[in-house]
Amino acid sequence: MTAEASAPESRAFEADVAKLLHLMVHSVYSEKDVFLRELISNAADACEKLRYEAIGTPELLGGDAKARITIALDAEAGTLAVEDNGIGMTADEMVEALGTIARSGTKAFLERIEAAKAQDAGESKAGAQLIGQFGVGFYSAFMVADRVEVISRRAGTDAATRWSSDGQGAYTIEAASAQTAPERGTRVTLHLLADAKTYTDRYKIENLVRTQSGHVPVPISVIDKPGAEPEEIVDGAALWTRSKSEIGPEEYADFYKSVSYNLDEPALIVHMRAEGRHEYTALVFVPSARPFDLFDADRKGRVKLYVKRVFITADADILPRYLRFVRGIVDSADLPLNISREMIQESTLLKAVGKGVTGRVLGDLEKLAESDKEAYTKIWDTFGSVLKEGLYEDFERREQLLGLARFKTTAAPGEWRTLKEYTAALRPNQTAVYYIAGDDQARLEASPQLEGFRARGVEVLLLAEPIDSFWVTAAPDVEGKPFKSVTQGGADLALVPLLDEAHQPAAAASEPVTRFITFVKETLGDVVADVRASDRLTDSMVCLTAPEHGPDRQLEKLLAGAGQLKSEVKPILEINPGHELVAALAALGEDEADFRRDAARILLDEARILDGVPPADTRGFSDRLGRLIRRGLS
């Protein structure tokens, strides 16, 4: 449909949107007041977009340059209308904005709703958070209305369009008459449900506006009955322009919810004003819950850029990508108002602003980690995997980020440890910061590669996220100790004293065991890079390790899965020379050659299974296992 269409046209919502509307009304959210905040936020965004476009095209403002939002109440008709004089929408834009939601976002939203419904007391709260996260705030109007009507006229055009729906699966769209349409902008009229008629009460609406949207940088007025004059209840003074001492926690929280479109509480508030060479104000927040788009492939930030309180863009690269969970605004007094989006990305001034804000955010996280360990731990639980991307990408701040990092280790199961705590517990003659990387925390804790380290009390970092395999390759030394994978090269543990002499690796392989290890190597051939006696195993018979140079075992798996390995990296099979079964196999005579060959291959398969990968030849493994069982029963 184009803006010139005149006959009403009925259209069906996408199937997912229809389901979403049903959930919104019946299952998702019990605190209905949020609908007004969502509509006001949309109206404020429309005014900000017009202010930006008017920089280059001032005629769009006409004779009405002051942005405003008006809430009109009609108790007799049972309606509430929110009108703005912002950018407005064409017919095509209304279909796109009101008739559809991005399919991927809708699907993810519905999946999260179904998960929330499966919970008991947390259902309402979870639904509230999801409404904000997935940008479906407009549809919250159907929680209080049985019909919603939207009339909009885009700035600079004459045509107006009317959109209407009862939220039951379809909507109509048609040209609107000039008499019923605003001169510019959008009017959303809610025909309220019988149990929602209290939203026509002036005092209730005024209280909601002041508490939820008092920070909006657009004046808000209310008309309490038809024919009455509008009365301003919010002056549009931007919250970030006020002094921190004048702002209460509730106002900060309300602003965060408006700018982030989330309904969780901020875990950290950073409000700063820079003067001198560069003058700017930043008001940004670390959320307490993960935004739904945290792991989008483009990894874009969501900090809004203003210039002298004029909204410029919502996706400027102000903060590094590993801080993309931060929400808020930056208002610069130095950037030109007519700066283009292309110039923004290349602006040295904006890069300096971003550097200053990034430093402040990381600095405040450091202060929080020192002053309130529990609060910081919650932030690390939520965003640690993203912050660790900075260890790989941000060389300049790597040392600072290492100080912020927290790790699960073999020394304190279930607890987070700092590298400072790790280095304070170094064992005598320990030459490295040891780690093991994988994709499953429980498997890492049970890995046979850790046995020799546990026997000597050497703490090992347990790294269970994909990013861990990359940042450790680029991390600097920690107090002169390099990062070293326990699955790569030799263990180098000979000089570290044992905690208990009863559990220790064999000092050296006996002659029969040495011959058996040679036999295993000959049997396996070029399937492995080497077979050798292990100095890291105390209880297990075997494990796989990677060569000294190149990727460790986990990085190799990731690179192979992504098709980025030019050639296969063959593992090293390590055999525990002190294990009783190894000694028994070594003692078998030449007449047991077939069984010894089966045993050699089963040892490799066992090592693969312990490493979290299946045997390369599952049929051969099954046959060999069957022969082993028959031999045991004979």
Q: Give the domain 240-374 fold.
A: Ribosomal Protein S5; domain 2 (3.30.230)
Strand order, beta sheet including 302-307: 266-274, 280-287, 327-332, 302-307, 310-313
- Give the pairing type, strands 231-234 and 145-153: unpaired
Cα torsion angle, 389, 395, 401, 403, sign: positive
Q: Which residue type sits at 192? A: L
CA-based nearest residue to 602, from 583, 618, 587, 584 = 618
Q: Per the annotation, does 518 bind a ligand?
A: no
Q: Per the annotation, does 403 bind a ligand?
A: no
To the nearest 5 percent, what fractions of the chain are helix, strand and coil?
A: 45, 20, 40
- Would you state the pLDDT for residue 288? 95
Domain boundaries, the chain: 9-237, 240-374, 511-548+565-633
| 411 within 8 A of 461, measured Cβ to Cβ | no
Q: Per the annotation, does 366 bind a ligand?
A: no
CA-based nearest residue to 519, from 579, 578, 603, 581 = 603
CA distances from 368 to 159, 253, 268, 376, 510 (A): 54, 18, 8, 6, 56
Q: Is the pLDDT of residue 445 over 80?
A: yes
Run of H or E residues at 96:
helix 91-98
Q: Per the annotation, does 136 bind a ligand?
A: yes
Q: Per the annotation, does 550 bind a ligand?
A: no
| 533 within 8 A of 578, measured Cβ to Cβ | no
Condensed to tens digits (0 to 9), the pLDDT of residues 172-205 reads 999 999 889 999 999 999 999 999 999 999 999 9
- pTM (2 d.p.): 0.70
Of 335-349, 421-435, 512-526, 599-613, least confident by mean pLDDT is 335-349
Q: Per the annotation, does 137 bind a ligand?
A: yes
User: How far apart are alpha carbons 387 and 409 in whole angstroms?
Assistant: 18
User: How far apart are alpha carbons 321 and 554 in whole angstroms?
Assistant: 24
Non-local (6+) Cβ contacts of 387 within 8 A are: 322, 323, 380, 401, 404, 405
User: How far apart are alpha carbons 330 and 315 in whole angstroms?
Assistant: 11
Q: Is the pLDDT of residue 41 over 80?
A: yes
Hey, which residues does 171 pair with through a beta bridge?
Answer: 11, 165
Q: Per the annotation, does 133 bind a ligand?
A: yes
Q: Per the annotation, does 105 bind a ligand?
A: yes
Condensed to tens digits (0 to 9), the pLDDT of residues 486-534 reads 988 777 788 888 887 655 555 567 899 999 999 999 999 999 999 999 9
Q: Which two tokens stand for residue 596?
A: 């010894």
Q: Per the annotation, does 285 bind a ligand?
A: no
Under DSSP, the state recorded for 492 is: -
Domain 9-237 has CATH 1.10.1660.10: no
In CATH terms, 511-548+565-633 corresponds, of 1.20.120.790, 1.25.40.10, 3.90.79.10, 1.10.10.10, to 1.20.120.790
Q: Which two tokens stand for residue 599?
A: 């045993």
Q: Is the pLDDT of residue 105 over 50?
A: no
Q: Is the pLDDT of residue 48 over 60?
A: yes
- Would you state the pLDDT for residue 292? 82
Residues shown for the chain: 634
